[in-house]
Amino acid sequence: MCRRAGRDDRASSWYHRGYGLSVRADDRKEVLRALTGYGALLKDMGEYDEARRYYEKAATRAAYTGRCREAAVARHYLLGLEAEVGTFARAQRHASLALRLYPIRDRQMPALVHDWAFLLVRQRNYTS
């Protein structure tokens, strides 16, 4: 709610609190939600390097714990971040990883393809 209300400072502290509590409770799903939520907050604040760090941490942790879909979602978020920043090589890496991790009939697959196409157009790569 803090994030929606534009209270980024408060939202930040809640994400940190949520992360700590979920680690202590060994709730892997909530750990990933805290990491990706905080990454999204940082991205919205323009802290791209820091956001990238939290998304990477979420993707790595999800893959390590066997949560392939959650790892794919984190990679998809990284693709979106790189598309916004304009770093094509990194975006290509994250798109490829997300494509490998998503289940083939996942409901997010069309969104992944759309985001990849958006990046190609943004890079003026119309041939691909």
The three-state secondary structure class of 18 is: helix
Determine the pLDDT at residue 64: 92
Determine the pLDDT at residue 67: 93
- Residue 20: alpha-carbon gap to chain centroid: 19
Contacts of 99 (CB under 8 A, 6+ apart): 112
Determine the pLDDT at residue 5: 42
As a whole number, mean pLDDT of residues 43-52 equals 92
The mean predicted confidence, pLDDT, of the chain is 87
pLDDT, tens digit (0-9, with 9 covering 90-100), for 57-102: 999 999 999 999 999 999 999 999 998 887 888 999 999 999 999 9
As a whole number, mean pLDDT of residues 102-111 equals 91
